[in-house]
Amino acid sequence: MPSGLQFKHWFKAAFLAAAIGAPASAAPTVAGLDFCADQYVLAFADRADIVALSPDATSPNSFYRTRAGGLPVVRGGAEEILMLRPDVLVRSWSGSVSMDARFDRVGITAYQPPYAFNFEANLKNFGSVATLLGYEAEGKALMANYMARYRALKAAAPISLKAVYMTPSGYTAGRGSSVDDIIRLAGLEPIAEDLGLNGWGPLPLEQLVMTPPDVVIGSFFEDGAVHVSNWSSGRHTVFRDLVKDVPSIMVPSGLMSCGGAFTVDAAEYIRAEIKRLGLMPQAVASAPKSLEGGR
């Protein structure tokens, strides 16, 4: 159920959409200020209407990076946006409220989807941006598709394997984090539960030794893009021995970024990998086909 705040934002998006995109044929021009905002833009907008994206739109962290190829890119930040004058500017973690006011004076509608605490909230954000850009139908379709796949994952048989998540800096994510949600949605048992880990923190090697994991889930390790910290637990010989004979799943960064926006895609990826590695304990009904996803 959307909370009062969510409803307010949805209403605002609809109102804005009505205010700008009156003729259905003339969709508003749109720009994205950071790569999480880019995802919303790339999910719906027509290529011709995209005025500019952030430089990270084509980076491994971007879910829809294949769609972003060839599109113009903003390097000059807010100043360049002011000159480019898109109808709508979508922003996520960049920019500020005061800057929004300035955009407004020039006729640019700046929209920041609210912070999403869970899966439903994430879906709502997709819907809001879709409506804002005049693609309400597409937005609803996307939401329905994700919902169906979500339910399928929830209904799928659990995989009783203990999974631990880690990043190159030797950090792991515990209860309450979006990563934790992804692991649970995939049907795995997060080892954070056994170790009593909450939120983000360094990987506790000693505890891992006492309760070793069955599978390691890593992300942000894409070659060339990352640096293993000199003090990371991943560097320790004990860790290497621990995971030497443990299967690992490297999840593409694009699936893990942006606060769980692609939780379903990530969970599906993990499940598919578990199956491919032959670790699936029993036959699982295949999930409905997703809309063209940007992997």
Partner 1 sequence: MIRKLQQNGWLLNASLLGALLLVALMSGMFGQVDLDMGQMAAAVFGPADSPEAIIVRELRLPRVLLAILAGASLGYSGAALQGLLRNPLADPGVIGVSASASLGAVIAIYMGLAALSPVAIPVLAMAGAFASTAILMLLASRDASVLTLILAGIGISSLATAAIALVMNFTSNPVTVQEMVMWMLGSLENRTFDDLTLAGPFIVAGWLVMMGVGQGLNALSLGEDAAHTLGIDLKRLRWRVVLGTALSVGATVSVCGAVGFVGLVVPHMVRAMIGYEPRRLLLPSAFLGAILMMLADILTRLPIGHGQLRLGVVMAIIGAPVFLYIVFKTRESMR
Binding site for partner 1 (CB under 8 A): 169-170, 201-202, 204-207, 209-210, 224-227, 229-233, 235-238
Q: Minimum CB separation from partner 1 for residue 167, in Å?
A: 10
Cα–Cα distance measured from residue 214 to residue 204, given in angstroms and rounded to the nearest whole number: 16
Residue with tokens 């090697």: 205
Nearer to partner 1, 145 or 207 (CB): 207
By DSSP bridging, strand 50-52 and strand 162-166 are unpaired
Tell me if residue 43 falls in helix, strand or coil.
Answer: helix
Q: Minimum CB separation from partner 1 for residue 169, in Å?
A: 6
Q: How far is CA 163 from CA 181, 239, 262, in A?
A: 12, 15, 19
Nearer to partner 1, 15 or 231 (CB): 231
Q: Minimum CB separation from partner 1 for residue 12, in Å?
A: 35
Nearer to partner 1, 206 or 292 (CB): 206
Starting at the edge strand found earlier in the chain, the sheet holding 189-190 runs 189-190, 162-166, 215-219, 248-251
Nearer to partner 1, 94 or 229 (CB): 229
The first and second tokens of residue 46, run together, are: 């027509």
Q: Minimum CB separation from partner 1 for residue 171, in Å?
A: 10
Q: Minimum CB separation from partner 1 for residue 146, in Å?
A: 31
Q: How far is CA 227 from CA 108, 165, 222, 254, in A?
A: 39, 17, 10, 18
Nearer to partner 1, 125 or 233 (CB): 233
